[in-house]
Amino acid sequence: MASPNIPARILVLGIGNVLWADEGFGVRCVEHLAANWTLPDTVHLMDGGTQGLYLLPFLEDADALIVFDAVDYGLEPGTMKVVENGEVPAFLGAKKMSLHQTGFQDVIATAQLMGYCPEQMLLIGVQPVELEDYGGGLRPLTAAQIDPAVQIALTRLRDWGVYVQPGRTATGDLADPSIARDAYESGRPSEDAACRIGDDRFFPARV
């Protein structure tokens, strides 16, 4: 049986929208972690995307939570900041950048009200460089923080008694390989061929 400080079940979650440039940071972190490290079955890696309250059952099953996300901390773009436990909901809702961010704050608040929020939480966030780029990939400053962010998560996992080693972790809860970072960014059409601010099929008609 795990001690009070050693969680038995750990959820590692990346949240965000890969369609909007640096919004995809959290998802790309979990993708990188799964592609480069072997973790035991007690650790559940998941692309939470923008699922909001649909993530509640996964929090219910977890004793500890690690979240990767793009967060508006009000810092220099590309800056990484780590917050823990009770501070996590406050930072997730400090400034609304997109629908997913407030949604996940609501997920935590709902889990707390229902009495099954993970006892230990770690938010590993990066200040985004660019969000208003539909179909865009991570900016270099943001992408450079993926491996450091994953290393912070690995250190915490080791502190929690998890054995980690180089390799791969198979999970069915990541994005389809067709939108994995390399495939997604290398397959992006030119600016002339694809609108950068949204889906132009749904823009108001010009008078």
pLDDT tens for 162-202 read 999 999 998 888 877 777 777 777 777 776 777 766 666 65
pLDDT at 97: 54
Q: What is the DSSP letter of 115?
A: T
Q: What is the CA radius of gyration of the chain?
A: 17
Averaged confidence pLDDT in the chain:
82
Instruction: Read off φ and ψ for residue 24, nearest 5 degrees.
Output: -85, 5
Mean pLDDT score, 87-93: 63
**CA atoms within a 13 Å half-sphere pointing along the CA-CB vector of 47:** 24
- Per residue in 32-68, pLDDT tens? 999 999 999 999 999 887 777 788 888 888 899 999 9
pLDDT at 183: 74
Contact status, residue 9 vs residue 45, Cβ threshold 8 Å:
no
The 10 Å Cβ neighbour count of residue 148 is 13
- Per residue in 94-128, pLDDT tens? 545 554 444 677 788 888 888 778 888 899 999 99
Beta bridge partners, 38, equal 165
Q: Whole-angstrom Cα distance, residue 195 to residue 158? A: 44
pLDDT at 203: 66
Q: Whole-angstrom Cα distance, residue 102 to residue 53? A: 11
pLDDT at 179: 76
Q: What is the dihedral sign for C-alpha 182, 123, 128, 79?
A: negative
Q: Whole-angstrom Cα distance, residue 107 to residue 113? A: 10
- Per residue in 13-23, pLDDT tens? 998 888 888 98
pLDDT at 36: 95
Mean pLDDT score, 79-83: 92
Closest CA to 30 of 78, 76, 65: 65
- Given a cut of 60, whether residue 12 has pLDDT beyond it is yes
Q: What is the pTM of this model?
A: 0.83
Q: Tell me the residue type at 29.
A: C
What residues contact 33, with CB distance under 8 A and at least 6 apart? 12, 39, 45, 150, 153, 154, 169
For tokens 């002339």, the residue is: 192
Distances (CA, A) of 176 to 40, 136, 179: 22, 17, 6
- Per residue in 22-31, pLDDT tens? 989 999 999 9
Closest CA to 68 of 100, 112, 35, 111: 100
